[in-house]
Structure 1
Amino acid sequence: MAKHEIYIRALEIGDYANINRWHKDEKVFSTITSNKYFISLARDKVWMEKLVLGGSNSMYWAICLKETDEMMGYMSLHNIDWRNRKSDVGGITIGREYQNLGLGLAAMDVVLQYIFNDLGLRKLFATYLESHPITWHAIKRFGYKEEILYRESIYKLGKYHNVIGASLLKKDYKTLEQQKASLKPNK
């Protein structure tokens, strides 16, 4: 697998087509806590226009490959509480063609650095489907701790699913980053 470099940028109105495609993708849908909605391309465009042009207490970023500038996914923060320096993570959505390449982990690293270093937040909350342990294995690498089980909270694919709530403190993330840096060979 080739090493890909990732960067984030603000979403643009033209990104609505990619996001609409990912909303319709059953494989992508099966891994996230959102319910399924049939959303037209026109509706996603209107949503994107409001998102890009209006202010809110949410932030959305496109996740792109440096070598091609191609958008491979997106991520968001919701319910940003600037006073208490915390937010809910909307999750990372990665297009099917980019899954299982380690790109989600690379994207999460870039986004977490931005959230903690540039935005100055100190705590993040995330939820994930208990039936999708890959998410837990990914986020615990960054220092997330499980906090709560929401039993049978999401109905999708014909049954109710448990949802796990986890959080990440900036200090825990920084400690892990320092440990990783100390393991790298000196050049």
Structure 2
Amino acid sequence: MSKDGIFLRELERGDLSTINAWRADRSLVSLLGGNFRHVGREIDDKWFDAYLGSRANNVRLAVCMASSGALIGVTYLLGIDWLNRSAEFSIQIGAESARGRGMGEAAARSILAHAFTDLNLHRVSLDVLEGNARAIALYEKLGFRTEGLHRQAVFKDGQYLNVVSMALLSTDFAEPSSAPVGD
């Protein structure tokens, strides 16, 4: 069992119905940079097929409960630029029962360790809605630094919202110590 209660695995076609249900959750989508859209199964299948064809530059992982294997979220490294050693990061804990329990932080730390240790990336960036204080606090806790503000960059729920750009360098990323307490 994972010490954080979760494990990551590559996304599978069988995950699509759960992910689609999260896309239909307006309260969840309201926290994300993307807009709400109705997405049918055929579109999901094409999206997954496109991912399979672009795996060389994209990592899409399922966040699963260690105890049951249940899918609770997703986390991605997208648009990997192997020359500049950079990628775009995103995470979504779709299962409401798993939110606010540290599982998003554990998943983020795991994929960032993968980015910097296994993939040898140097820079991971993200965009987050300015009003998503909980996500921004998590990203800052992980070591991300604010690099800029895109004013009124996203139209959601009838209004334009600001987007904060953040990034984390491999030299700033610190994995939690695995040393036993008291050492």
Q: TM-score, normalised by structure 1?
A: 0.89
The SS at the match of 1:167 is: strand
Residue 42 of structure 1 deviates from its aligned partner by 2.6
* Map 1:38-117 → 2, pairs under 5 A: 38-52=38-52, 54-56=53-55, 57-89=57-89, 91-95=90-94, 96-117=96-117
Q: Which residue in the other structure is 1:181 paired with?
A: 177
Deviation at 1:185, TM superposition (A): 3.0
Distance 1:49 1:74 in 2: 17
Deviation per CA, 1:90-127: give whole Å up to 9, x if none: x1111123111111111111111111111111101111
RMSD of aligned residue pairs (Cα, Å)? 1.9
**One-letter code of the match for 1:185?**
V
CA distance in 2 between counterparts of 1:43 and 1:163 reads: 27
Count of aligned pairs: 179
Q: What is the DSSP-based 3-state SS (H/G/I as helix, E as strand, rest coil) of the residue aligned with 2:79?
A: strand
| Residue identity in the other structure for 2:160 | Y
The Cα of 1:132 is off from its aligned counterpart by 0.8
Paired residues of 2:153 and 2:160 also in contact (CA < 8 A): yes
Q: Deviations over 1:5-51 (max 9, x none)?
A: 21111111111101101111112101110112111123212322332
Identity %: 30
Partner of 1:151: 151
Gaps of 5+ in 2: none
Residue 22 of structure 1 aligns with which residue?
22
The AA in structure 1 aligned to 2:133 is P
Distance of 2:87 and 2:49 partners within structure 1: 23
Instruction: Tell me, in whole angstroms, the C-alpha distance in 2 between the residues paired with 1:77 and 1:181.
Output: 24
1:67 is aligned with what amino acid? S
Q: What SS does structure 1 have at the residue aligned with 2:165? A: strand
* TM-score, structure 2 normalization: 0.91
Contact kept, 8 Å, 1:4 with 1:65, in 2: the verdict is no
The gaps in structure 1 that reach 5 residues or longer are none
CA distance in 1, matches of 2:162, 2:44: 28
1:126-175 per-position Cα deviation (integer Å, ceiling 9, x unaligned):
1100011111100111110000000000000110000000010011013x
